Amino acid sequence: MLSASGQDRSPFIRAVGRALPPHYASQEQLIAAFRELWATRHFNLERLEDLHRAVQVGGRHLARPLEDYPSLVTFQQRNDAWIRSATELGETVARKALEAAELTPRDVDHVFFVTVTGIATPSIDARLANRLRLREDFKRTPLFGLGCVAGAAGVARAADYLRGFPEHTALVIAVELCSLTLQREDLSIPNIIASGLFGDGAACAVLRGAAAPGGQGPRVVASRSVFYPDTERIMGWDVVDTGFKVVLSAKVPGLVKDHIRGNVDGFLEAHGLKRQDIRHWVAHTGGPKVLEAFEEALELAPATLARSWASLREVGNLSSASVLFVLGETLEQVQAQPGDWGVMMAMGPGFGAEMVLLRW
């Protein structure tokens, strides 16, 4: 995006910090724990194992040790655990990202905090301000409810802000502790799938405006949000007495196949591009069927989404933090050349999509 004077006002992504909780359980350990939990409920335990293995997740990091979860009975107990862990992980990823960007907390002008797995007032960004000793005049934008799409949407909204304040620095912090939302009394297929797919983790992206010193990294050239009408029951939460009960429709992969090609092609066409011009694809790790739908609809070569597949296998779907994990790995592992184009994309509750156009 050019200013009236012809200068490029596209912000830079300087760095992405990532962190996982210290507690880890393999998928086999988790299957064993769920078998013990649900054995007395006469649930089809073989079906449980089939669903867990079908998501192709090798294991997940957990906010608390596995043996602690039986004692977290009420919504308040789980949410209190969420606040503690979210604050700790949020501080960790913010410090990692700022160090990688060669910046300090005093350089931060705006914090966008995204989550869908816990609630707090004041929000976690306020608690992080105290821990990090951010300036008193920094701005806060906590975003709740966007779910898996929020990592990409957070980057897009931060970039929008930085076009208006090109000398500023913004953080996009995503913290998701999906394990603390599990409804142990819910034996529905969506809850069983969620118990095998979603993991815990956090990420922080550092963005700087075009006029800020030391501009480097890919620029956020443009973004586009797409909302699909009348799809509220495709994905989200039902807020019940025991907390967040997952809404997860089997129609998600079909929606991806039906819409994402037209969405991406229209977005690229608006900037004079085609899919063949994109060298780097940064896709949210929605699950095997979602990644397959991305590949099929966009006609991507098998290795194109390798980093997304690897992240899914290693840590599971981290909701909003997932696409930032893949973005961070792309920045660190890929030898991008000046002029390379990239697309970051995610889908989530609404139901809708977010696409971000990147250029190195």
Task: Report the run of H or E that residue 181 belongs to, with start and end.
Answer: none
Q: What length is written for the chain?
A: 360
Neighbour count for residue 49 (Cβ, 10 Å): 17
Alpha helices in the chain (DSSP H): 27-38, 45-54, 75-100, 124-132, 150-164, 189-197, 252-269, 288-298, 306-315, 320-333
The answer to whether the beta carbons of residues 201 and 24 sit under 8 Å apart is no
Residue 227, classed as helix, strand or coil, is strand
148 is catalytic: yes
The active-site residue out of 86, 120, 148, 343 is 148
The CA distance from 170 to 207, in Å, is 5
CB-based contacts of 288: which residues, under 8 Å, 6+ apart?
54, 55, 56, 312
Name every residue whose Cβ is closer than 8 Å to that of residue 121 and which is 6 or more positions away in sequence: none
Name the token pair of 7. Answer: 């200068």
Tokens of 60: 């997940």
Catalytic residue IDs: 148
